[in-house]
């Protein structure tokens, strides 16, 4: 039965386990930077966890069903107004005429899911992606609000799914680069363990690393993807594509909110490969531009406050990457005009932050990363910084 608790249970289990894993992994990040043994153990745990997730479809055959994925995506309670209309669909009967009961909604959701999963090297990738674009564009050309909401809901679900996969891919890319030295135990913190436990622990780590590689290669062969490097770049490109489609459908604000909340991905991006960093800079630049007009036609004070906080989180999360990764590998990621435009938008957003301490927090963060990256002189927010200093000085004198 579509939409039944039994059908949704495996999906809920998978998402719950994923959330718990990333929450539990955060404390280990700091320890792993100090102890090589914990770093290798984290690699093994990550590999085993991803392997377990790939086994779930075989344990629960309904998990890969496009119809059940559709039910989960469209009947999950959401904060946005246009998605909340989908959550009251009951048992999936078509008599209610809900958006989620239409064939076009199911088709678009399935297409976006396949685009997300199919390898970019596949000759069918462009076919499926062009089909998804065709459905989205034709829905918009109809000029019907219901079809626009279908687009928004489908794109929102796809954006969330791609964002979570992108974070996992960047995390895996960083771990594989950081832990790929040799099979022997490095010196690190070896002096903290006596000789007896050191020898036994070395044998254990070698076994962990061996089985971790087995699980990892098995998972990659099932995915049909060449590895985290290409996967992360592909997912970043798809994030930008989805964000552009959401903007065309008038629901870019949700993409901005999701990107602003991806602080963990933003911190991982600072140590990612240059090509991937360039792709993430493009996404950040596009969504920062989209955030400029948020709140201009809103009268509700609570909504205005939420949007202001979203802009604040967006700057705090992604401004460091803009300072460090805008040059690209062989050419600047953004053109001269794009850089000038984005600098102006950044200044406008910062100056809309009403509280002086919020402006100080953003500008001090910018100054920290801007001065510590000798290869880049962008974004140059010196004018905005000077205006904030003048305003702060005036406030002090009035007191």
Per-residue confidence band for 293, with pLDDT thresholds at 50, 70 and 90:
confident
Contact assessment for residue 356 and residue 389, using Cβ atoms and an 8 Å cutoff = no
Query: Is pLDDT at 353 greater than 60 in this prediction?
Result: yes
Q: Which tens digit of pLDDT belongs to each residue from 262-291?
A: 999 999 999 888 889 999 999 999 999 999
User: Measured between alpha carbons, how far is 329 from 323 in angstroms, rounded to an integer?
Assistant: 15
User: Measured between alpha carbons, how far is 174 from 176 in angstroms, rounded to an integer?
Assistant: 6
Query: Is pLDDT at 240 greater than 90 in this prediction?
Result: yes
| CB half-sphere exposure, 205, CA atoms < 13 A | 22
Residue that is written with structure tokens 């280990």 in the block: 28
Residue that is written with structure tokens 């009251």 in the block: 88
For residue 378, the SS3 value is coil
Q: Which tens digit of pLDDT belongs to each residue from 301-348?
A: 888 888 889 999 999 999 999 998 877 777 788 999 999 999 999 999
Residue that is written with structure tokens 């001090």 in the block: 364
Q: DSSP labels for 229-242?
A: HHHHHHHHHHHHHH
Q: How far is CA 217 from CA 183, 204, 328, in A?
A: 17, 20, 30
Nearest CA to 8 out of 104, 74, 88, 81 is that of 74
Per-residue confidence band for 18, with pLDDT thresholds at 50, 70 and 90:
low
Torsion of CA 213, 214, 216, 222, to 10 degrees: 160
Least confident of 73-82, 337-346, 371-380: 73-82
Per-residue confidence band for 100, with pLDDT thresholds at 50, 70 and 90:
low
Nearest CA to 91 out of 200, 8, 34 is that of 8
In the structure encoding, which two tokens stand for residue 295, read together?
């709140």
Q: Mean pLDDT over residues 107-127, rounded?
A: 90
Nearest CA to 112 out of 239, 8, 12 is that of 239
In the structure encoding, which two tokens stand for residue 12, read together?
């809920």
User: Measured between alpha carbons, how far is 240 from 159 in angstroms, rounded to an integer?
Assistant: 9
Nearest CA to 236 out of 319, 341, 321, 144 is that of 321
> Which of the two residues, 386 and 24, has the higher pLDDT score?
386
Least confident of 193-202, 259-268, 347-356: 193-202
Radius of gyration of the chain (CA): 23
Q: DSSP labels for 266-334?
A: HHHHTTS-HHHHHHHHHHHHHHHHHHTTTTTT---HHHHHHHHHHHHHHHHHHHHHHHHSSS-SSS-SS
| CB half-sphere exposure, 162, CA atoms < 13 A | 30
Q: Domain segments of the chain: what residues?
A: 1-229, 251-399
Q: Which tens digit of pLDDT belongs to each residue from 165-187?
A: 999 889 887 666 654 433 333 33
Torsion sign (Cα): 330, 170, 283, 320: negative
What pLDDT, on a 0 to 100 scale, did the predictor assign at position 219? Answer: 47
């Amino acid at each position: 039965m579509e939409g039944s608790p039994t059908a949704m249970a495996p999906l809920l289990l998978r998402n719950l386990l994923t959330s718990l894993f990333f929450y539990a992994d955060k404390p280990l990040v700091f320890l792993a930077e100090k102890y090589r043994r914990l770093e290798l153990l984290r690699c093994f745990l990550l590999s085993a966890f991803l392997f377990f997730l790939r086994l779930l479809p075989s344990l629960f055959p309904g998990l890969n069903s496009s119809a059940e994925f559709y039910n989960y995506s469209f009947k999950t309670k959401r904060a946005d107004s246009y998605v909340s209309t989908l959550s009251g669909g009951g048992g999936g009967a078509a008599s209610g005429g809900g958006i989620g009961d239409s064939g076009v909604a199911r088709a678009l959701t399935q297409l976006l899911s396949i685009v997300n999963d199919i390898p970019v090297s596949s000759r069918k990738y462009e076919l499926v992606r062009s089909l998804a674009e065709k459905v989205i564009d034709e829905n918009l050309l109809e000029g019907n609000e219901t079809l626009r909401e279908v687009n928004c809901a489908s794109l929102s679900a796809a954006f969330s799914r791609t964002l979570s996969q992108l974070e996992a891919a960047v995390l895996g890319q960083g771990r594989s680069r950081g832990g790929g030295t040799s099979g022997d135990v490095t010196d690190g913190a070896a002096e903290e363990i006596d000789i007896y436990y050191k020898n036994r622990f070395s044998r254990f780590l070698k076994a962990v690393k061996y089985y971790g590689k087995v699980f990892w290669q098995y998972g990659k062969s099932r995915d049909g993807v060449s590895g985290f490097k290409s996967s992360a770049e592909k997912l970043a490109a798809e994030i930008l594509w989805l964000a552009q489609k959401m903007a065309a459908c008038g629901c870019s604000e949700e993409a901005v909110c999701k990107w602003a909340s991806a602080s963990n991905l933003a911190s991982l991006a600072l140590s990612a490969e240059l090509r991937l960093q360039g792709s993430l800079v493009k996404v950040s630049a596009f969504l920062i531009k989209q955030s400029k007009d948020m709140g201009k036609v809103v009268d509700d004070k609570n909504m205005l406050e939420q949007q202001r906080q979203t802009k604040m989180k967006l700057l705090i999360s992604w401004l460091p990457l803009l300072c460090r990764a805008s040059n690209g590998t062989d050419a600047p990621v953004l053109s001269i005009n794009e850089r000038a435009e984005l600098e102006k938008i950044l200044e406008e957003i910062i100056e809309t932050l009403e509280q002086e301490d919020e402006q100080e927090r953003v500008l001090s963060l910018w100054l920290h990363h801007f001065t510590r990256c000798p290869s880049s002189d962008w974004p140059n927010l010196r004018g905005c910084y000077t205006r904030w200093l003048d305003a702060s000085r005036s406030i002090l004198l009035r007191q």
